[in-house]
Amino acid sequence: MKPSWRKPFGVFLILAIIAVWSVIVASASGPIGTLPALVQAPIYLAAGIVWILPLKPLLLWMETGKWRE
């Protein structure tokens, strides 16, 4: 069986998504840091979960070569 290039490229894309999302959240930390802690917590909780959303289609593509089931 011939190895697929999709898996190494997919891993690179996952790392790129994490890096870009980290920069976005870090750049927004100044204005978010001025908010009360009870407002900051849900913002950072949402930011910690949102980056996972594009991973399902990406992982599916890595395994099957299709973006949708």
Per residue in 38-61, pLDDT tens?
999 999 999 999 989 888 899 998
> How many folded domains does the chain comprise?
1
Instruction: Give residue 1's identity as a one-letter amino acid code.
Output: M
DSSP helix/strand/coil, 34: coil
Q: Is residue 1 part of a domain?
A: no
Reported confidence tier of residue 63, pLDDT bands at 50, 70, 90: confident
Q: Quick one: DSSP state of residue 54?
A: T
Instruction: Give residue 21's identity as a one-letter amino acid code.
Output: W
Q: Is residue 32 part of a domain?
A: yes
- Threshold 0.85, pTM exceeds: no
* 33: containing domain: 6-64
Which segments of the chain does DSSP mark as H helices, in order? 6-27, 29-33, 37-50, 55-64
Reported confidence tier of residue 31, pLDDT bands at 50, 70, 90: very high
12 or 66: whose pLDDT is higher?
Answer: 12
Percent of the chain exceeding pLDDT 70 equals 97
